[in-house]
Structure 1
Amino acid sequence: MTDVPMTDAPLLDRSGPVDPAAETLTLPPVPAAPADGVPLAALETREVSAWFGARKVLERVSLAMTAGEVTALIGPSGCGKSTYLRILNRMHEMVRGAALSGEVLLDGDDVYRPGRRPAEVRRRIGMVFQRPNPFPAMSIRDNVSSGLKLAGIKVSREEREHLVETSLRRAGLWDEVSSRLQTPGGSLSGGQQQRLCIARSLAVSPDILLMDEPCSALDPTSTRRVEETIAELRGRLTIVIVTHNMQQAQRVSQSCAFFLATHDTPGRIVEAGPTEQLFGAPRDRRTADYVNGRFG
């Protein structure tokens, strides 16, 4: 799989005209950790519905994702979780015929408002995909710095080297690859490749990190390392993860949202709240049935 190009071409009916300004994005400093008292970015959707052509796939989804925490999206296959995740950073609009209504608010500002550049949104809201997708022939170093190029960010060579090391450290990979940064990214194990993709996303200093089943193709040991990386990133940025692994949702998240769809109704949130409550004392019987493995 290759990276989705960070195009500014509007395909989604909901989006307005794109700002013609083409200034190079300015790279913010990379802190070791958020300064005390500095709020992290919050993400919220209000009454979001989505369509692919005439088919409605999401119905009036409202959800607040707490800044600095991990929110897990759970539910059976086909209930709209991954579509919802892609709506959060405007990847939904890259599918022709896609449309949506409602608002996606990043710190209170709608990411789909007219004139807002999709590339700027995708820099602030990064994405890690289900299967690791490094550029296999590109070196580890260049894989990480390619995120800067995709986002249109220019830095000096010294700044780039600092960002490569910082991003690999934050992704929990530096100690394993620091002596072989020139080797191809494709030479790494599956779990290392996934953490390399996380490092590439972190290189552009996102406020939000979206993760679409990041461990589904990994062995248990690699899954543990990725989960450790998620735990280390918590508090530094806001994370939203789609997972089918109920134990993983309990381990890594502080909040959960349970999505459900039927053959004749689009996906919607049945219940959302603290992870401990959703798994320990769910309010809706359908939630209890799902988290206890009675369907799905």
Structure 2
Amino acid sequence: MSLDLAEATRDPLTETLVLAGGLALPAERHAMQAKAVSAWFGTHKVLERVSLDVPAGKVTALIGPSGCGKSTFLRILNRMHELVPSAALAGEVLLDGEDIYDPGKRVTHARRNIGMVFQKPNPFPAMSIQDNVVAGLALTGVRVSSRARADLVEECLTRAGLWNEVKDRLRAPGGGLSGGQQQRLCIARSLAVRPRVLLMDEPCSALDPTSTRRVEETIAALKGDMTVVIVTHNMQQAARVSDRCAFFLAEAGTPGGIVEHGPTAAMFGDPQDQRTADYVNGRFG
């Protein structure tokens, strides 16, 4: 049986593709969409009309050499770019179809729905492990009972792959954990506010191989329940953890942009642009 997708229409209520013959297929949902996003720091333009669809429940890796705008783009996805006094941007960023930069949207709304894990672990060092996990609740105005709080701490530490290592010392300072444990604690802290999307900016760059493996296992466990976007310079990591990749590049002083994006297997096995092939195979960058 052949399916004519060219004549298919989308049912907006059920998010399916309806074929000419009446057969319905599930449509890929996009948790986030960037549309023609450009970015500046002062007069320096760092991104040029970047558009990217981020599928829901998948891991999308942003790859490319240093200085091509990957981390800037990631910060634009949860309104952190605007914290820089000289920063400016154009374009749209949609979360489930709604522009997070709409003047009627509060920045706390974006931060609650779109979590962020940074390159360097940043737990509150003097705060206990359990208090670190729930620290974001106060910032977003969420109140929970003591019982619910304990359950939430266990749930988030379990999902971050850390519960068995710290369950007997929850009142110990978060700053006393190893680097890899601190990074997973930061992941647990992000999960506590129930984000729909989790952004990760080189979360394993400062970690040893064992800690890296555990963070990657955490990413794999989160996939499906949430959308993950990760910036990484490690091509093996991108190939291991992601479902889709976007290759960023800035050439000869021009602003960064996306050369190519698509399923990870295709990006590594059969890229359509020679520059992508050269990068993923280590011939530059």
Q: Does the pair score TM above 0.5?
A: yes
TM-score normalised over the length of structure 1 = 0.86
Q: 1:92 aligns with which of 74, 81, 94?
A: 81
Q: Which runs of 5+ in 1 are unaligned?
A: 1-36
Identify which of structures 1 and 2 has the higher relative contact order when contacts are C-alpha pairs closer than 8 Å and 6+ apart.
Answer: 1
Structure 2 partner of 1:158: 147
Distance in 1 between residues matched to 2:240 and 2:90, nearest whole Å: 33
Alignment-mate amino acid for residue 112 of structure 1 = Y
Q: SS where residue 262 of structure 1 aligns? A: coil
Q: 2:221 aligns with which of 224, 232, 250?
A: 232
What displacement does 1:41 show? Answer: 6.7
Tell me which structure has the larger Cα radius of gyration.
2
The alignment's C-alpha RMSD in Å is 1.2
What displacement does 1:153 show? Answer: 1.3
Matched, 1:53 2:47: no
Structure 2 partner of 1:147: 136
Alignment-mate amino acid for residue 76 of structure 1 = P
Output one character per residue of 1:146-169: Cα deviation in whole Å (capped at 9) or x when no partner.
Answer: 011122211121111111111111
Distance in 1 between residues matched to 2:42 and 2:141, nearest whole Å: 32
Q: SS where residue 56 of structure 1 aligns? A: strand
Matched, 1:42 2:4: no
What displacement does 1:263 show? Answer: 3.6
Alignment-mate amino acid for residue 265 of structure 2 = E
What displacement does 1:52 show? Answer: 0.7
Alignment-mate amino acid for residue 261 of structure 1 = A
Q: 2:259 aligns with which of 249, 270, 289?
A: 270
Runs of 4+ more than 4 Å apart: none
Q: Where in structure 2 are the equivalents of 1:1-296 lying within 5 Å?
A: 42-296=31-285
Of stretches 72-81 and 186-195 in structure 1, the one that deviates more from structure 2 is 186-195
Q: Which runs of 5+ in 2 are unaligned?
A: 1-25
Instruction: Give yes or no for contact 1:48–1:101 (8 Å, CA) kept in 2.
Output: yes
What displacement does 1:40 show? Answer: 7.6
Alignment-mate amino acid for residue 270 of structure 1 = V
Instruction: Give yes or no for contact 2:29–2:55 (8 Å, CA) kept in 1.
Output: no
Q: SS where residue 255 of structure 2 aligns? A: strand
Distance in 2 between residues matched to 1:264 and 1:127, nearest whole Å: 29
Q: SS where residue 223 of structure 1 aligns? A: helix
